[in-house]
Homo-oligomer: A and B are copies of this chain.
Amino acid sequence: MVLTHYHRLVLPADANHHGTLYAGSLLRLALEAGYAAAWRHVGTRANLVLRRVLNVECLRPVPVGAVVEIQGAVLHRAQAYLVTGLLGVPLAEGQGPWLEALLGFAQVDEAGRADALPEGAGPAEVPEGEAWRRLAERLQKLLHLR
């Protein structure tokens, strides 16, 4: 299965004074969803640290009380590094995602040095759908920029 699913009820403790998801909470949720996707991809020998945020787009405010779903997939894979793409599943019909994100994780050894991903970790694969295609295109541009 390519996609992982992350669910969370947005609580007042996660909110800003507008009653919507506070950016500091949003970034933490995105990180947890990104880790979960990367772990499922790499397997039990994963030892991953966040190396880079390539992009986060906060596209729509998320009200307190919403149950958000973030879908994740590994969109890029190098020897010791991978990039997880994230999409916040639309909060209402006819809307686009409320979140798009690209997070880069490095595999490290016990001492914290870069290490090759374990053998079981498969290749990257872009899920179907227009939103995933656009996210993957943005990633290609960003990978070539740096």
Chain A residues in the interface with B (C-beta under 8 A): 4-20, 22-24, 26-28, 31-32, 35-36, 39-40, 44, 46, 49-58, 61, 64-65, 67, 112, 141-142, 145
Q: Among the listed B8, B23, B26, B55, which residue makes an inter-chain contact with A54, where contact means beta carbons less than 8 Å apart?
A: B55
Q: Are A28 and B24 in touch, CB under 8 angstroms?
A: yes
Q: Are A53 and B55 in touch, CB under 8 angstroms?
A: yes
A-side binding surface: helix, strand, loop or mixed? mixed
| Alpha-carbon distance between A31 and B7 when the two chains are bound, in angstroms | 12
Given the contacts A31-B23, A31-B27, A39 and B67 also touching, CB distance less than 8 Å: yes
Q: Among the listed B11, B17, B26, B39, which residue makes an inter-chain contact with A22, where contact means beta carbons less than 8 Å apart?
A: B11
Residues of B with C-beta under 8 A to A22: 11
| Alpha-carbon distance between A6 and B6 when the two chains are bound, in angstroms | 7
Q: Are B23 and A49 in touch, CB under 8 angstroms?
A: yes
Given the contacts A13-B13, A49-B58, A56-B53, A7 and B28 also touching, CB distance less than 8 Å: no
